Amino acid sequence: MDCKFLNATVVTQNERREVIANGGVAVKDGRIVAVGPSAEIERAWPELPAVDAAGKAVMPGLVNGHTHVLLLVLRGTVEDMGADAIYGYMTPISFAMTDDERQALALLGCLEALRSGTATLVEPFRHVVNYAGAMAETGMRLWFSESCADALTLKIRRGIYEFDPAWGETFLERERALIEKFHGTHDGRVRCQVAAHAPDNCSPWMLRKLNDLREKYGLRRTVHMAQSKGEVAQVQRYAGCTPAQYLERNDWLGPDVVGAHWTYCSDDDVALLAKHGVHMAHCPANSSRRGPHTAPVAKILDAGVNVALGTDNMTEDMFQAMKIGSIIHRGSYGGGTNPQPQALLDAATRNGALSLGALDQIGSIEPGKKADLTVIDLDDPCMVPRINLASNIVHYGHPGMVESVMVDGEFLMRERKVLCLDEKDVVRNAQAASGAAWRRLHEKNPDLPLPEALRGA
């Protein structure tokens, strides 16, 4: 919708991190066409309908640099279990779900993301082509990929690592279908990456095949990396090196690569990844459920790595990611006040855009960029007193203060109403789909117990 936001506090996140008090933003044909003092915008764009944003801040739509919306199905379970969540539950349930269940959870993810001010989701997962359409219809900005593996991932929870090219080929087939169907569609709002699931479950053959796809379609890449001790041990057994070294040997490091997690990276790994210009998708909130995330963040930041933020699993709330990220990052420096809140706000906006190679399109409010905007309510109690806005947002911000979200110049949520989804339907469907998926998971894998609350239901 063409419009002009007036009387707003505009958090531009431009190179100078300008915050314009009593500012305005003009939006036309899906793009930001002007940013400046409210009175100037009002004068220069008389034909645009006005949106009064008094008492509100307009900021760039948040960029969730790494998530798996389907894993909301596990919310409230694996966070509190001792089991290997990745191969023990996340992988098996992703195969056990029906396409209807996948779509139900995917829409729940979009709903939660929008309610928490997110405009862009980066979704590497399995069977993505089967639910990408439902997500694309919401109007959100999306980066999809099929998280490929050629190790028989369903066997790994039993300690068995076995490569099978036929299994790997099923992932590649889904990735090709995803690219053909979705890459560059919806006016470029939906794009694809190539994704290797992780170094322990991708053989050199798989990594090569993915590089071929990357070349053929001109895509960027993403991979989970050094996420678990099990992964590090397996790569050591299999290839005699660290996950980062393994990726380097197989031509899988570069400035087009986003690595998620880096939890068990050595100092040498960090230096290697920084040298290759690899971006980090840091998921501090999710990764800290069982104790503070131990990635060497201080070393990573000091090495000049671009750190984007993601939510990873069981939540789409980027305010949690900023808040817990701030705590984790400062903890990594041994306490203190470094980094400052602005760095976390950058990670959730500009850095995420940069990790996608899209900082020229999104991540800040500047003329010429896509109109991906989030409006927050400055009258929310957590925003008062307002002495340093970035500090309030990072330390105390929450989804409840998100008022509107616009993507490509279209309001997907306006004045607290989500316009692109029937909220009640979405939550009811996701609740029903989750119960059904859990029951099927248990039927197919009797060694995975059904949560108490779902027994007999």
State the residues that interact with Zn ion by CB under 5 A: 312
The residue among 312 and 408 lying less far from Zn ion, judged by its C-beta, is 312
Q: How far is the CB of 300 from Zn ion (least distance, A)?
A: 17
CA nearest neighbour of 28 among 368, 412, 419, 376: 368
Q: How far is the CB of 68 from Zn ion (least distance, A)?
A: 6
Q: How far is the CB of 286 from Zn ion (least distance, A)?
A: 8
Q: Which amino acid is at 266?
A: S
Q: How far is the CB of 294 from Zn ion (least distance, A)?
A: 16
CA nearest neighbour of 81 among 290, 272, 335, 221: 290
Residue 52 pairs in a beta bridge with: 6
The residue among 168 and 259 lying less far from Zn ion, judged by its C-beta, is 259
Q: CA distances (Å), 364 to each of 84, 372, 389, in order?
A: 38, 9, 16
Q: How far is the CB of 388 from Zn ion (least distance, A)?
A: 32
The residue among 311 and 392 lying less far from Zn ion, judged by its C-beta, is 311
The residue among 139 and 259 lying less far from Zn ion, judged by its C-beta, is 259
Q: How far is the CB of 285 from Zn ion (least distance, A)?
A: 13
Q: How far is the CB of 260 from Zn ion (least distance, A)?
A: 5
The residue among 245 and 286 lying less far from Zn ion, judged by its C-beta, is 286
Q: How far is the CB of 167 from Zn ion (least distance, A)?
A: 20
The residue among 234 and 287 lying less far from Zn ion, judged by its C-beta, is 287
For residue 23, what is the enclosing H or E element?
Answer: strand 19-28
Q: How far is the CB of 221 from Zn ion (least distance, A)?
A: 14
CA atoms within 13 A on the CB side of 235: 25
The residue among 200 and 312 lying less far from Zn ion, judged by its C-beta, is 312
Q: How far is the CB of 66 from Zn ion (least distance, A)?
A: 6
Q: How far apart are CA 61 and CA 119, in angstroms?
A: 5
Q: Record the tokens describing residue 21, joined without a space.
A: 């008090």
The residue among 273 and 401 lying less far from Zn ion, judged by its C-beta, is 273
Are 64 and 46 spatial neighbours (Cβ–Cβ below 8 Å)?
Answer: no
From the centroid of its chain, how far is CA 153?
A: 23
- Where does 254-407 show beta strands of DSSP type E? 257-261, 279-282, 307-309, 373-377, 402-407
Angle between helices 99-115 and 423-444 (to 10 degrees): 130
Are 193 and 145 spatial neighbours (Cβ–Cβ below 8 Å)?
Answer: yes
Angle between helices 389-396 and 318-332 (to 10 degrees): 100
Q: CA distances (Å), 384 to each of 52, 181, 238, 339, 431, in order?
A: 20, 47, 55, 22, 36
The residue among 14 and 313 lying less far from Zn ion, judged by its C-beta, is 313
CA nearest neighbour of 131 among 82, 68, 89, 87: 68
Residue 349 burial (CB < 10 Å; 0-12/13-18/19+)?
buried
Q: How far is the CB of 283 from Zn ion (least distance, A)?
A: 7
Q: Is the peptide bond before 204 cis (omega within 30 degrees of 0)?
A: no
Q: How far is the CB of 315 from Zn ion (least distance, A)?
A: 12
The residue among 175 and 312 lying less far from Zn ion, judged by its C-beta, is 312
If you search the block for the tokens 């690219």, which residue do you land on?
A: 179
If you search the block for the tokens 């919401």, which residue do you land on?
A: 138
> Which residue is closest to Zn ion by CB?
312
CA nearest neighbour of 315 among 149, 95, 129, 121: 121
If you search the block for the tokens 């709330």, which residue do you land on?
A: 317
The residue among 37 and 230 lying less far from Zn ion, judged by its C-beta, is 230
φ and ψ at 238, to 5 degrees?
-80, -40
The residue among 41 and 71 lying less far from Zn ion, judged by its C-beta, is 71
Residue 417 pairs in a beta bridge with: 414
